[in-house]
């Protein structure tokens, strides 16, 4: 049928090669728009010169780099609607001029040394734009170790998922996301995190940041409470939605709920299982107090289950949502468990909010991949995701222990729970900024506690360095730990918590 269609568009003049040429070779865009006022006489010559000029321009400006393979002349002729002899003669002309090279078995390529494209713009890392030197020891926060990504399991899951995928996977989907993932995710979150939800209560997103911005636009009221020390992207996402932020202090038991009860806010956003950045878990009594406050006031609780799967000294702390599915929005993603490159997140919502959030999101969510949703569903179903989590947990536990042991050799004890992908090294408050500056001079990517403080919040009496231990590569980890330990020795002064 496709052959008949191709031939019918040719006005009945069937070229046996044309239908083949249109299916081979590579695409090459060349702007050869005809001049509508030009005479028909000499049209072939004009098109030949236009093709040659377009190829020269593409090479000279660097759009076609040295070594780039051009389509076979027959394929390009079919694509452009030119005679094969016209394209062949242009190729020969540019070979003779030195723009192109033609070798048997290698095809026609752009010659070396004929372009001078601008030097590529240096692309820095978003996690360290403030460093004056290159990052040599990367303790960046909030990122898993890239070498742990389960490539084989992802490839196998992709093959299995796509083999059985219905055709509607490749069309715009329902705003809640693929039902296959919502079903298995509901079971997984119930089993691994204690979440109470059905597939109908889940709206799939691309991540927590986008989720918070959507909630700010469509669900939150005018004022929302946040932890006084917390994730900056939480605050930025909520503020982009036009919502005013009110900070609430945290201590060694997490968010101080007594302070929250005195505020007039419509919601609170927090990280109860592993508070970021202090690392504490919200105390059980405060959990119950928080649920009571929300039910009494009609407010919402938004729980970012930040690295909730990674607890090393005992079983992970369960999700706060289990205590109040009617008032808690549970937000999560695979950015810590798999990779931030996999754009899959979720909101587990009170039933009354599902339609509001789903239709506010819409069917054309930026960056969402329905195919990736199917692949993750397959990984969870096959058990590959659980195996990856357990391997990752052992890896990060070893890293946490190694960092703690290295700091112990210089007399520094790290408090808090053993969990997540970062820890806070205690330092005197008056030395924190000096240590951070020293680290940046040495190319060590870390942050001070004060970086995470809400501008309207008081400074904690104790300082700290927030260090992500998941990021360094396996080959450099020992040297990275030595460099970090070396920060605590400045000329004539040892900077550490006494």
Tens digit of pLDDT at every position of the chain (498 positions): 333 343 444 444 555 555 655 566 678 888 776 554 555 555 677 888 889 989 988 888 888 888 888 888 888 888 888 888 889 889 988 888 888 998 877 789 998 876 554 444 443 333 444 444 578 898 888 788 889 999 999 999 999 999 988 888 888 888 999 999 999 999 999 998 889 989 999 999 999 999 999 999 999 989 999 999 998 888 998 998 889 999 999 998 999 999 999 999 999 999 998 888 888 889 999 999 999 999 999 999 999 987 777 777 666 678 899 999 999 999 999 998 999 899 999 999 999 999 999 989 887 766 778 899 999 999 999 999 999 999 998 998 999 899 999 999 988 888 766 778 888 998 888 888 889 988 998 899 999 989 999 988 888 888 889 998 888 888 889 999 999 998 886 444 444 443
Are 258 and 162 contained in the same domain? yes
Shared-domain flag, residues 369 and 430: no
Specify the pairing of strand 254-255 against strand 250-251.
antiparallel
Residue 87 domain flag:
yes
Average pLDDT, the chain: 84
How many whole angstroms separate alpha carbon 280 and alpha carbon 419? 9
> Does 278 lie in the same domain as 181?
yes
> What CATH number is given to the structural domain containing 281?
3.40.640.10
Q: Is residue 397 part of a domain?
A: yes
Count of domains for the chain? 3
Q: Are residues 379 and 391 in the same domain?
A: no
pTM greater than 0.85: no
| CB-CB contact of 313 with 418 (8 Å) | yes
**Helical H runs in 129-283?**
151-163, 179-193, 208-218, 232-240, 257-260
Question: Are residues 480 and 360 part of one domain?
Answer: no
For the residues of 288-344, what is the DSSP string, one character each?
Answer: HHHHHHHHHHT-EEEEE-TTTT-BSSSSPPPPGGGG-TTTEEEEEESTTTT-TTS--
**Same domain for 212 and 70:** no
**Residue 171 and residue 70 share a domain:** no
Is residue 36 assigned to a domain? no
Are 82 and 196 in the same domain?
no
| Structural domain boundaries, residue 52 | 43-115
One domain, residues 372 and 431: no
**Whether 261 and 312 share a structural domain:** yes
Angstrom distance (rounded) from CA 289 to CA 293: 6
> Do 462 and 377 fall into the same domain?
no
Q: What is the CATH number of the domain that holds 80?
A: 1.10.10.10
Q: Is residue 20 part of a domain?
A: no
The answer to whether residue 24 is domain-embedded is no
């Amino acid at each position: 049928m496709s052959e008949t269609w191709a031939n019918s568009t040719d006005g009945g003049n069937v070229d046996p090669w044309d239908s083949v040429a249109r299916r081979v070779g590579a695409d090459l865009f060349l702007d050869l728009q005809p001049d509508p006022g030009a005479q028909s006489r000499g049209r072939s010559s004009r098109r030949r010169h236009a093709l040659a000029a377009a190829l020269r321009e593409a090479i000279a400006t660097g759009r076609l780099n040295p070594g780039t393979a051009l389509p076979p002349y027959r394929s390009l002729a079919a694509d452009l609607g030119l005679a094969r002899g016209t394209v062949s003669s242009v190729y020969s002309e540019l070979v003779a001029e030195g723009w192109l090279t033609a070798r048997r078995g290698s095809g026609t390529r752009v010659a070396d040394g004929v372009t001078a494209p601008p030097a590529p713009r240096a692309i820095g890392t978003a996690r360290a734009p403030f460093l004056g030197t290159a990052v040599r020891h990367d303790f960046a926060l909030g990122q898993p170790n890239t070498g742990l990504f389960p490539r084989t399991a992802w490839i196998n899951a992709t093959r299995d998922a796509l083999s059985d995928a219905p055709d509607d996977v490749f069309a715009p989907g329902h705003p809640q996301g693929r039902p296959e993932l919502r079903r298995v995710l509901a079971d997984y979150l119930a089993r691994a995190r204690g979440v109470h939800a059905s597939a109908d209560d889940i709206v799939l997103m691309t991540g927590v940041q986008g989720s918070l911005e959507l909630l700010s636009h469509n669900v939150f009221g005018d004022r929302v409470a946040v932890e006084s020390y917390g994730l900056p992207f939480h605050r930025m996402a909520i503020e982009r939605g036009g919502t005013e932020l009110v900070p609430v202090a945290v201590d060694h038991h997490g968010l101080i709920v007594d302070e929250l009860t005195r505020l007039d806010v419509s919601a609170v956003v927090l990280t109860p299982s592993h508070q970021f950045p202090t690392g504490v878990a919200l105390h059980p009594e405060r959990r119950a107090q928080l649920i009571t406050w929300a039910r009494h006031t009609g407010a919402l609780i938004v729980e970012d289950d930040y690295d909730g799967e990674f607890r090393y000294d005992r079983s992970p702390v369960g999700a706060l949502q289990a205590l109040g599915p009617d008032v808690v929005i549970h937000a999560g993603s695979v950015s810590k468990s798999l990779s931030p490159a996999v754009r899959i997140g979720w909101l587990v919502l009170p039933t009354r909010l599902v339609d509001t959030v789903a239709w506010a999101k819409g069917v054309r969510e930026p960056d969402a991949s329905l195919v990736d949703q199917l692949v993750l569903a397959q990984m969870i179903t096959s058990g590959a995701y659980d195996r990856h989590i357990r391997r990752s947990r052992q890896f990060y536990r070893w890293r946490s222990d190694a960092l703690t042991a290295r700091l112990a050799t210089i007399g520094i004890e790290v408090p808090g729970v053993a969990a997540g992908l970062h820890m806070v090294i205690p330092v005197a408050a008056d030395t924190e900024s000096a240590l951070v500056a020293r680290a940046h001079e040495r190319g060590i990517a870390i942050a001070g506690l004060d970086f995470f403080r809400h501008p309207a919040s008081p400074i904690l009496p104790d300082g700290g360095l927030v260090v992500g231990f998941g990021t360094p590569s396996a080959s450099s980890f020992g040297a990275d730990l030595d460099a970090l330990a070396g920060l605590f020795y400045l000329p004539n002064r040892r900077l550490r918590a006494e």
